[in-house]
Amino acid sequence: IIMKSFLFFLLMLSSLINPVLSQNNLFEKAKNNPSEGYKLCKKFKEFNLEKKTSAASDEVTKLVSDENNLSLVDARNYSIYVMGLYCPKIF
């Protein structure tokens, strides 16, 4: 019974740690690929100027999600991180 409880605890702990680790990998991807970051900034700027759409909009988040095979939450976090690193004039 103690072993089963311990295994259950480890399973629950790993599910809590995994999202944290994946976020770090996501941020490392953004940080280590400035050319991709600048390309994404260009797309954000196009949305800002042509469509009058915020880079944090659902439409842009969906685009980033589809292009990078990310969940919508990860795509939004990735976009915000990229904006902070590479394109501070984008809204």
Q: What is the pLDDT of residues 22-77, one digit of tens each?
A: 566 888 888 898 999 999 999 999 988 888 888 888 999 999 999 999 989 889 98
Question: Quick one: which H or E segment has residue 9?
Answer: helix 2-32
Residue 83, token pair as written in the block = 């904006």
End-to-end, the C-alpha distance of the chain in Å comes to 54
pLDDT in tens, 64-89: 999 999 989 889 989 988 988 888 77
Residue among 6, 20, 91 at smallest CA distance from 54: 91
Quote the pTM value: 0.70
Quote the pLDDT of residue 53.
84
Q: For residue 43, how many other CB atoms are within 10 A of its CB?
A: 17
Say whether pLDDT at 11 is over 60: no
Q: What is the pLDDT of residue 9?
A: 54
